[in-house]
Structure 1
Amino acid sequence: MARQVISPGWKVVIGSGIGISFGAAPIFTSGFALLTSAMAHEYGWNQTEVAQAATIVLSATMIAYLFCAWPLDRLGSRRFAATSIALFAISLVVLSQVGPSLSQFYLAAALFGFVGAGTNVVSYAKAISRWFDRKRGLALGLAASAQAGGSFIVPLAAHGIITRYGWSAALLSFAAFEIVVCLPLVAWLVKDSPPADASVPDSGSRPQIAEPEVAEADIGAAEIVRSATFWKLALCFAAIGMSFYAIAPNTMYILTRRGDVTAADVAWIQAIGAIAALFGRILVGLLLDRLHARVVGILTVLLMATSMLINGTATGVATMAAASILMGFAIGGEADLMPYLAGRYFGTRSVSKVFSWLLFAFCIGAAAGPVAFVRLSTLSDSVVTPLLLLSALQIVPVALFLSLGRYRTAPEPAFNLAAAPS
Structure 2
Amino acid sequence: MARQVISPNWRVVIGSGVGISFGAAPIFTAGFALLTSAMARDYGWNQTELAQAATIVLSATMVAYLFCAWPLDRLGSRRFAVTSIALFAISLAILSQVGSSLPQFYLAAALFGFVGAGTNVVSYARAISRWFDQKRGLALGLAASAQAGGSFVVPLAAHWIITRYGWSTALLAFAAFEVVVCLPLVAWLVKDSPPAGSPAPDDGGRRQMIETQAPEIGLGAAQIIRSPIFWKLAVCFAVIGMSFYAIAPNIMYILTRRGDVTAADVAWIQAIGAVAALFGRIVVGYLLDRLHARIVGILTVLLMALSMLTNAAASGVASMALASILMGFAIGGEADLMPYLAGRYFGTHSVSKVFSWLLFAFCVGAAIGPVAFVWLSTLSHSVIVPLLLLSALQIISIALFLSLGRYQTVPEPALSLAVALS
Q: Offset of 1:4 from its aligned partner?
A: 1.7
**What is the identity, as a one-letter code, of the residue corresponding to 1:169?**
T
Q: Distance in 1 between matches of 2:217 and 2:279?
A: 35
- The equivalent residue for 1:294 is 294
CA-to-partner distance for each residue in 1:262-302, whole Å, 9 max, x for gaps?
00000000000000000100000000000000000000000
- The equivalent residue for 2:160 is 160
Q: Offset of 1:214 from its aligned partner?
A: 3.7
Q: What TM-score does the superposition give when structure 2 sets the normalisation length? A: 0.96
Q: Distance in 2 between matches of 1:130 and 1:393?
A: 36
Q: Offset of 1:217 from its aligned partner?
A: 4.5
Q: Distance in 2 between matches of 1:292 and 1:189?
A: 31
Q: Distance in 2 between matches of 1:84 and 1:53?
A: 21
Please tell me whether the aligned partners of residues 217 and 412 of structure 2 are also in contact (alpha carbons under 8 angstroms): no
- The equivalent residue for 1:86 is 86
Q: Distance in 1 between matches of 2:217 and 2:223?
A: 12
* Correspondence 1:189 to 2:217: no
CA-to-partner distance for each residue in 1:66-86, whole Å, 9 max, x for gaps?
000000000000000000000
**SS across alignment from 1:90:** helix
Q: Offset of 1:417 from its aligned partner?
A: 6.5
**SS across alignment from 1:232:** helix
Q: Distance in 2 between matches of 1:179 and 1:206?
A: 41
Q: Offset of 1:413 from its aligned partner?
A: 6.5
Please tell me whether the aligned partners of residues 242 and 368 of structure 2 are also in contact (alpha carbons under 8 angstroms): yes
Please tell me whether the aligned partners of residues 130 and 211 of structure 1 are also in contact (alpha carbons under 8 angstroms): no
Q: Distance in 1 between matches of 2:14 and 2:401?
A: 30
**SS across alignment from 1:405:** coil
**What is the identity, as a one-letter code, of the residue corresponding to 2:226?**
R
Q: What TM-score does the superposition give when structure 1 sets the normalisation length? A: 0.96
**What is the identity, as a one-letter code, of the residue corresponding to 1:321?**
A
Please tell me whether the aligned partners of residues 77 and 127 of structure 1 are also in contact (alpha carbons under 8 angstroms): yes
User: Are the structure 2 counterparts of residues 277 and 346 from structure 1 closer, same or farther at C-alpha, using a change threshold of 3 Å?
Assistant: same
- The equivalent residue for 1:46 is 46
- The equivalent residue for 2:394 is 394
User: Are the structure 2 counterparts of residues 410 and 330 from structure 1 closer, same or farther at C-alpha, using a change threshold of 3 Å?
Assistant: farther
* Correspondence 1:250 to 2:250: yes
- The equivalent residue for 2:34 is 34
- The equivalent residue for 1:120 is 120
Please tell me whether the aligned partners of residues 199 and 208 of structure 2 are also in contact (alpha carbons under 8 angstroms): yes
Please tell me whether the aligned partners of residues 26 and 148 of structure 1 are also in contact (alpha carbons under 8 angstroms): yes
Percent identity reads 84
- The equivalent residue for 2:326 is 326
- The equivalent residue for 1:211 is 211
Q: Distance in 2 between matches of 1:342 and 1:306?
A: 27
User: Are the structure 2 counterparts of residues 372 and 170 from structure 1 closer, same or farther at C-alpha, using a change threshold of 3 Å?
Assistant: same
- The equivalent residue for 1:357 is 357
Q: Offset of 1:123 from its aligned partner?
A: 0.2
Q: Distance in 2 between matches of 1:395 and 1:349?
A: 32
Please tell me whether the aligned partners of residues 10 and 201 of structure 1 are also in contact (alpha carbons under 8 angstroms): no
Please tell me whether the aligned partners of residues 133 and 411 of structure 1 are also in contact (alpha carbons under 8 angstroms): no
User: Are the structure 2 counterparts of residues 336 and 308 from structure 1 closer, same or farther at C-alpha, using a change threshold of 3 Å?
Assistant: same
Q: Distance in 1 between matches of 2:149 and 2:411?
A: 28
User: Are the structure 2 counterparts of residues 345 and 218 from structure 1 closer, same or farther at C-alpha, using a change threshold of 3 Å?
Assistant: closer
User: Are the structure 2 counterparts of residues 130 and 217 from structure 1 closer, same or farther at C-alpha, using a change threshold of 3 Å?
Assistant: closer
**What is the identity, as a one-letter code, of the residue corresponding to 1:187?**
A
Please tell me whether the aligned partners of residues 56 and 106 of structure 1 are also in contact (alpha carbons under 8 angstroms): yes
5+ residue gaps, structure 1, are: none
* Correspondence 1:276 to 2:276: yes
- The equivalent residue for 1:14 is 14
**SS across alignment from 1:203:** coil
Q: Offset of 1:197 from its aligned partner?
A: 4.3
Q: Distance in 2 between matches of 1:206 and 1:117?
A: 38
Please tell me whether the aligned partners of residues 130 and 348 of structure 1 are also in contact (alpha carbons under 8 angstroms): yes
**SS across alignment from 2:19:** helix
Q: Distance in 2 between matches of 1:74 and 1:53?
A: 32
CA-to-partner distance for each residue in 1:315-361, whole Å, 9 max, x for gaps?
10001001100000000011110000000000000000000000000
Q: Distance in 2 between matches of 1:134 and 1:288?
A: 11
Q: Offset of 1:209 from its aligned partner?
A: 2.7
Q: Distance in 1 between matches of 2:212 and 2:374?
A: 46
**What is the identity, as a one-letter code, of the residue corresponding to 1:339?**
P
Q: Distance in 2 between matches of 1:195 and 1:258?
A: 55
Q: Which runs of structure 2 are paired with 1:101-112 in the superposition (5 Å)?
A: 101-112=101-112
Q: Which runs of structure 2 are paired with 1:133-144 in the superposition (5 Å)?
A: 133-144=133-144
Please tell me whether the aligned partners of residues 134 and 412 of structure 1 are also in contact (alpha carbons under 8 angstroms): no
Q: Offset of 1:200 from its aligned partner?
A: 2.4
- The equivalent residue for 1:347 is 347
Please tell me whether the aligned partners of residues 202 and 208 of structure 2 are also in contact (alpha carbons under 8 angstroms): no
Q: Offset of 1:221 from its aligned partner?
A: 1.3
Q: Distance in 1 between matches of 2:307 and 2:343?
A: 29
**What is the identity, as a one-letter code, of the residue corresponding to 2:173?**
S
- The equivalent residue for 2:23 is 23
User: Are the structure 2 counterparts of residues 174 and 213 from structure 1 closer, same or farther at C-alpha, using a change threshold of 3 Å?
Assistant: farther
Please tell me whether the aligned partners of residues 19 and 119 of structure 1 are also in contact (alpha carbons under 8 angstroms): yes
Q: Offset of 1:210 from its aligned partner?
A: 4.8
Q: Distance in 2 between matches of 1:289 and 1:409?
A: 16
User: Aligned pair count?
Assistant: 420
Please tell me whether the aligned partners of residues 236 and 396 of structure 1 are also in contact (alpha carbons under 8 angstroms): yes
Q: Distance in 2 between matches of 1:237 and 1:40?
A: 31
- The equivalent residue for 1:259 is 259
Q: Distance in 1 between matches of 2:97 and 2:119?
A: 22
CA-to-partner distance for each residue in 1:20-73, whole Å, 9 max, x for gaps?
000000000000000000000000000000000000000000000000000000
User: Are the structure 2 counterparts of residues 355 and 24 from structure 1 closer, same or farther at C-alpha, using a change threshold of 3 Å?
Assistant: same
Please tell me whether the aligned partners of residues 200 and 207 of structure 1 are also in contact (alpha carbons under 8 angstroms): no
**SS across alignment from 1:202:** coil
Q: CA RMSD in A?
A: 1.9
- The equivalent residue for 2:173 is 173
